[in-house]
Chain A
Amino acid sequence: MRLLHNYHYAAAMALFCIGLYTVIVRRNIIKKLIGLNIMETSVFFFYISLGYLDGGVAPIHAGSADPARMVNPIPQALILTGIVVALSVTALALSMVILLYRQYGTLDVDRLMREEEPAAEGAAGEGEGGA
């Protein structure tokens, strides 16, 4: 694994795993969203590490920096988009959390999903079913 000599990647993966663990295992939905954000930032971190080269400088042309020593600007441009996307997902999800809490009174995902649908309790299955 030649890639792993770069500890940035290892760190990004570690953070990614922490985030994934949180999303899957933790039952509190706000925690899940925090986990989601950790996952996202870890991936951004990974991208930025990709573009980085040892002793590089920021890819800004205004100064007198040497273009050859600049870090790769493409991942950075991508991440800018990524951050915006991540923010909107988080915002949408959080607004849903508020709505859910209002209607179910719980943030626990198990309780939330276990709650029976009101519609299903109505008419019990009558009739002989299939022909």
Chain B
Amino acid sequence: METALNLTFIVLLVATALMAVWARDLLAAVIIFSVYSLIMALMWQRLQAPDLALTEAAVGAGVTTVLFVVTVFKTRRREEEE
């Protein structure tokens, strides 16, 4: 059961990572990345690292995302086509 839950998390992590990478809309990518960070935080909680999970939730999903969002707003939303 434990393992199954962990595996689910991992599959989710990989999936969100891939989505973040492939999303054409940068804002979407950033948001997906924030979700990825949250899942990562949960995963760490499951690995008995509560303080890290807390930090990651705050820093990874919070601060980093905010920084990314600000950047995207200050630059452009769409990825350029060649």
Question: Which residues of A line the B interface, CB within 8 A?
Answer: 7-8, 11, 14-15, 18-19, 21-22, 26-28, 30-31, 33-35, 37-38, 41, 44-45, 48-49, 51-52, 56-60, 71, 76, 79-80, 83-84, 87, 90-91, 94, 97-98, 101, 106-108, 110-111
Residue of B nearest to A106 (CB): B80
Interface residue range, chain B? 35 or more
Residues of B28-82 whose CB lies within 8 A of A = 29-30, 33, 36-37, 40, 43-44, 47-52, 55-56, 59-60, 63-64, 67-68, 70-72, 74-76, 79-80, 82
The answer to whether A30 touches B49 (Cβ under 8 A) is: no
Mark B residues whose CB is within 8 Å of A: 3, 6-7, 10, 13-14, 17-18, 20-21, 26, 29-30, 33, 36-37, 40, 43-44, 47-52, 55-56, 59-60, 63-64, 67-68, 70-72, 74-76, 79-80, 82
How far does the Cβ of B28 sit from chain A's closest Cβ, in whole Å? 11
The SS class assigned to the A binding surface is helix
**A45–B72 CA distance with the chains assembled, in angstroms:** 27
Which 6 pairs between the two chains have the least Cβ-Cβ distance? A101-B75, A11-B10, A58-B48, A71-B48, A94-B71, A52-B47
Known A51-B49, A98-B75; 20 more pairs at CB < 8 Å: A8-B10, A14-B14, A15-B14, A18-B18, A22-B21, A26-B21, A34-B30, A34-B68, A38-B21, A38-B36, A41-B56, A57-B48, A58-B49, A71-B48, A76-B49, A80-B51, A80-B52, A83-B52, A87-B59, A94-B71
Instruction: List the B side residues contacting A57 at CB < 8 Å.
Output: 48
Contact B37 A41 (CB under 8 A): yes
